[in-house]
Amino acid sequence: MIGTAVDRGFISERVPVPRLTSKGEKSKTRPAFTEQEIEQLLAFMPAWSQQGRLAVEREIRPLTRDYVEMLLYTGMRHGTEAIGILWRDIEWHTDKGVRYLRIWVDGKTGGRWLIAKHKAVDVLQRLHARQRDICQLSFETTLESRVPHLLFRFSDGHQPHSLVGTFRRLMRDSGLALDANSDNRTLYSLRHTYATLEMLRGEVDIHTISKQMGNSAAMIERHYSKLTATMAADRLA
């Protein structure tokens, strides 16, 4: 391509052309939370979410708590997938007599169903209780009625432009803003934490995790390959 540019007069042949290399910077481990830090965060958020002098703070803090927990309990993508979820995208799925929450998400890799942790029910019930246009319905009726309203919104139906700033305040106030490498944690760290903890527990195979998260199995293995030996420690030792 450089030779073509010289031939066409776009650059002079007398100008030294820097040598290009395909070697990029070594990828860094994405900042995540340890299991103990997640327990600390979950214990901190209930009281924190009820604080705030301004009316908007009293709306956005509980919403941020619910958003954070839902990301932790599903592994869905912040923003592209999570913020657009509607109540009608959530339904019960029964398998062998056990009910599971199934959520339809649609993001950069297309749409898919994912299964939420059982604790996500508490998150949905809190959201339901605060939203004035549906709280008169029972929680079960809301799910059955396939209500076409956004899930993550204020009590009056308004969805804030972003929860990033409030999440930063949550991290600052909880003392969890930085990971062990002094890297700033972001909302994406919750998705990384979900994958890391699932891999470390070793109860679900990589293929299933990839389906849940909307990534290829190869990508999951590439990013989390350092954990595979840990998962098999009892067989390797």
pLDDT digits (tens, 9 = 90+) for 146-155: 999 999 999 9
How much is the pLDDT for 218?
Answer: 81
CATH code at position 93: 1.10.443.10
Domain hosting residue 148, numbered range: 35-232
How much is the pLDDT for 224?
Answer: 73
Q: Does the residue 1 lie in any domain?
A: no
- What is the number of domains present in the chain? 1
pLDDT digits (tens, 9 = 90+) for 25-82: 545 567 899 999 999 999 999 999 999 899 999 999 999 999 999 999 999 999 989 9
Please say if the pLDDT value at position 208 is more than 50: yes
Provide φ and ψ at 201, rounded to 5°.
-70, -30
Q: Does the residue 172 lie in any domain?
A: yes
Question: Across the chain, what does the average pLDDT equal?
Answer: 87
Q: Does the residue 40 lie in any domain?
A: yes
Q: For 89, which DSSP code?
A: G
The CA–CA distances, whole Å, from 181 to 15, 30, 128, 177, 184 equal 42, 10, 38, 11, 9
How much is the pLDDT for 82?
Answer: 96
How much is the pLDDT for 236?
Answer: 53
Q: Does the residue 4 lie in any domain?
A: no
Please say if the pLDDT value at position 10 is more than 80: no
pTM: predicted TM-score of the whole model, two decimal places? 0.84
Q: Does the residue 58 lie in any domain?
A: yes
Q: Mean of the pLDDT values across residues 106-135?
A: 95
Q: Does the residue 61 lie in any domain?
A: yes
Q: Does the residue 107 lie in any domain?
A: yes
Q: Does the residue 13 lie in any domain?
A: no
Q: Taking CA 116 as the corner, what is the angle to CA 235 and CA 119, rounded to the nearest 5 degrees?
A: 95
Structure-block tokens of residue 125: 């019930």
How much is the pLDDT for 229?
Answer: 62
Instruction: Quote the distance between the C-alpha of residue 100 and its chain's center.
Output: 19
